[in-house]
Amino acid sequence: MWWAYLLVFLGTLVVDLTPLPLPPAFTLMILLQVVFHLDIWPVIFLGVAGSAMGRYFFSLYIGRLSGKVLKAEKIKDIEFLGGKLNASGLRTQGFTLLYTLLPISSTPLFVTAGIARLNPLNIIPAFVIGKFVSDALAVGMGNYAINNSADIWTGDGSPKAVVALLVYLVLILALLFIDWRTWLVQKKLRFKFKIWRKNKQTI
């Protein structure tokens, strides 16, 4: 079953290597962990390692392609992030850690690094820490919710399982419908329900 763990690593690497609007890497980690009954911690470690490597190489080539593949909304994200990443030392690491902990795509973060020709190794350490924490929570809660969902629907689930499933669903809804960039920039809570694409377009 070692190949399934390799699939976790390669899958998360590909997800975070591409500028296409793919699902977050942690969703792939949850899927593979459940389908192949993998141990959670190796999945988390390999998934985070794959994401970090993917984002590193992503930042090396995306600067040249950003104008062709990104929407204007994400360009604004980049302008905001550029000022933060130009800071040095702990401030940059702190901002990167905070950004990675939030359920926001890390694409603008590494696009900024690519456009500004920053050394991605300057932000990778904080990215890895934040990614590990957020993915560990997502994969752990997702695994618990999925494994206990059958008992919940049949009425045999414990209150703990029910609460875990509800919390997981709330987090997924928050990820989808809260405008996280507005919260991060303006400190205002705003919901965005029109999130689905009506036609094909670049990100």
98-111 per-position pLDDT tens digit = 878 876 678 777 87
* pLDDT value at residue 201: 46
Threshold 0.75, pTM exceeds: no
* pLDDT value at residue 48: 95
* pLDDT value at residue 164: 52
Beta-carbon neighbour count of residue 194 at 10 Å? 7
* pLDDT value at residue 111: 75
Q: How far apart are CA 84 and CA 96, in angstroms?
A: 9
* pLDDT value at residue 202: 42
* pLDDT value at residue 10: 96
* pLDDT value at residue 97: 86
Extract the residue ranges of the chain whose pLDDT is less than 50.
152, 161, 197, 199-203
